[in-house]
Amino acid sequence: LDISWFTDSMREGRPVAVETRHLIQVCARCSTPTPVARVSQYACQRRTTTENNNKILTDAFEVLAESYELNQLEGPCLAFRRAASVLKSLPWAVQCLGATQGLPCLGEHTKALIEEILQYGHSFEVEKILSDERYQTLKLFTSVFGVGPKTAEKWYRRGLRSFSDILAEPSIQLNRMQQSGFLHYGDISRAVSKAEARALGNIIDEAVHAITPDGILALTGGFRRGKEFGHDVDFIVTTPEQGKEETLLPNIIDRLKEQGILLYSDYQTSTFDISKLPSHKFEAMDHFAKCFLILRLEGSLVDRGLNSTEGDSRGWRAVRVDLVSPPMERYAYALLGWTGSRQFERDLRRFARLEQHMLLDNHALYDKTKKEFLAATTERDIFAHLGLEYIEPWQRNA
Ligand code: DCT
Ligand code: MG
């Protein structure tokens, strides 16, 4: 980095204006550059692209977070997710513990882990978790569509350890979602590629516009953030005609069924009621109409073919697709909420609550001081209401 213009100006007594967020200091021990400006504790005040320079560290943190999550210990799970998120936002690789000085959200435990990994290349604690039977089993069970940590735990306690144990157990009644989860396990546990997401976008787009010519379709989730792969494809569908969005999803589902590509559908009607806001809890799951689908995607529709395993000659694969259908006047909030990442969303809400005395969720933003809802037609409006610099979707990979 050439900062001679800066040092020259200082020497010559010329006044200079510098944006401190662009300034770096260099660690005396390992030469790692670290930012002079404070890194915010809130992911919504950091720019995090898909390029992760600290993957070896964040992968380790993710194992610990997951292990806590599977044991339903929310506090420590979130602490590791926050720490991972801070390291993901750094434009360089951490090479010594000194280089993490001043960074937020790194506690004793995370620092010990960083030191261990930098020294040995791996962490003994992480390896121990990865080879733990309980962790492996819970991870396997929760990898099935429709199986959460509680069900996985129940099965584990009953001594079940494999899919064949579960499927051979006569007293277990799988629900419809779990049955589909097992039926399409190989396909839906394999990542969805960007090209596959595009092909699905064409299918949904065609359906939406056949139903309502002025329909609106937006890609959200990880693919909107520029990810190359995802576990599903998320879309928002709506229409400017008020009330018409209510029938949009059932019509799309019917159409996909007629085309013979609907393998599974769980449709949830809207429970959204503006007059009840914000009296209900600002919880994680929103009240918009939505559906969780499994679709049959033909390889011929995908540029350069399907992301399938070698030797798979079926010519199609099953893919998970989520559709959410907010009323048009809620579009900006729904888009912001469904774009993620989850960590970015958590911190947007935390920032709103703690720094601005506001309540944010996928439906609305409520100003507790003014006692009013703040209208927004674009995501930019919402960032502005919150007093935040706009962060592009591809910078929200916190
Ligand atoms: N979301 C939400 N409420 C939920 C679940 C999700 O608001 N109950 C938001 C946050 C992220 C976004 O929807 C999409 O969710 P996922 O598909 O789970 O996340 P993703 O970032 O798209 O990850 P992946 O690429 O693995 O699909
Ligand atoms: Mg997704």
Angle (nearest 5°) at CA 36 between 32 and 37: 135
> What is the residue-wise DSSP string for 286-330?
--SEEEEEEEEEEGGGSTT-----TT--SSEEEEEEEEEE--GGG
396 lines ligand 1 (CB under 6 A): no
User: How many alpha carbons fall within 13 Å on the CB side of residue 290?
Assistant: 17
Element (H, E) at 26: strand 24-26
* Rg for the chain, CA atoms, rounded: 24
Measured distance CA(280)–CA(219) in Å, rounded: 28
Q: Name the residue of 81, 88, 142, 232 whose CB sits within 8 Å of the most ligand 1 atoms, as the mutation to test its pocket.
A: 232
Amino acid at site 196: E
Please tell me the residue having the least CA distance from ligand 1 atom 23: 222
pLDDT of residue 282: 61
pLDDT of residue 49: 98
Which three-class secondary structure state does DSSP give residue 80?
A: helix
Measured distance CA(186)–CA(194) in Å, rounded: 19
The predicted model scores a pTM of 0.92
Please tell me the residue having the least CA distance from ligand 1 atom 15: 221
pLDDT of residue 283: 61
Give the helix ranges, DSSP H, for the chain.
4-11, 55-70, 74-88, 108-120, 124-130, 133-142, 149-157, 163-167, 176-183, 185-188, 194-211, 221-224, 245-258, 331-339, 342-356, 379-385
Active site residue 234: yes
Write out the two tokens for 339: 């774009």
Amino acid at site 329: E
230 lines ligand 1 (CB under 6 A): yes
Evaluate whether 302 touches 312 at the Cβ level (below 8 Å): no
| CA end-to-end span of the chain | 26
344: closest CA among 126, 121, 45? Answer: 45
Amino acid at site 286: D
Ligand 1 atom with minimal separation from the 340 CA: 11
Ranges of residues in the chain whose predicted pLDDT is under 70: 1-3, 5-6, 10, 15-23, 25, 33-37, 278-284, 311
Centre of ligand 2 from the C-alpha of residue 332, in Å = 18
Strands 216-220 and 229-230: unpaired
Q: Which ligand is nearest to the CA of 229?
A: 1
Ligand 1 atom with minimal separation from the 221 CA: 22
CB count within 10 Å of CB 361 equals: 23
Measured distance CA(332)–CA(356) in Å, rounded: 19
With a CB cutoff of 8 Å and minimum separation 6, the contacts of 352 are 358, 359, 360, 365, 386
Please tell me the residue having the least CA distance from ligand 1 atom 5: 285
Write out the two tokens for 356: 């601005």
pLDDT of residue 23: 61
Measured distance CA(139)–CA(137) in Å, rounded: 5
Active site residue 322: yes
Please write down the HEC assignment for all residues of 228-239. Answer: CEECCEEEEEEC
Evaluate whether 268 touches 289 at the Cβ level (below 8 Å): yes
Phi/psi at 77 (5° precision)? -60, -50
Centre of ligand 2 from the C-alpha of residue 79, in Å = 23
Measured distance CA(5)–CA(11) in Å, rounded: 10
222 lines ligand 1 (CB under 6 A): yes
100: closest CA among 21, 110, 51? Answer: 110
Evaluate whether 38 touches 101 at the Cβ level (below 8 Å): no
Measured distance CA(226)–CA(396) in Å, rounded: 10
Evaluate whether 110 touches 82 at the Cβ level (below 8 Å): no
Q: Could you say which DSSP state residue 366 is in?
A: E
Selected catalytic residue, list 205, 266, 322, 367:
322
97: closest CA among 130, 125, 70, 57? Answer: 57
284 lines ligand 1 (CB under 6 A): yes
Selected catalytic residue, list 232, 286, 347, 361:
232
224 lines ligand 1 (CB under 6 A): no
Active site residue 59: no
333 lines ligand 1 (CB under 6 A): no
Q: Which ligand is nearest to the CA of 230?
A: 1
With a CB cutoff of 8 Å and minimum separation 6, the contacts of 184 are 145, 263, 264, 294, 318
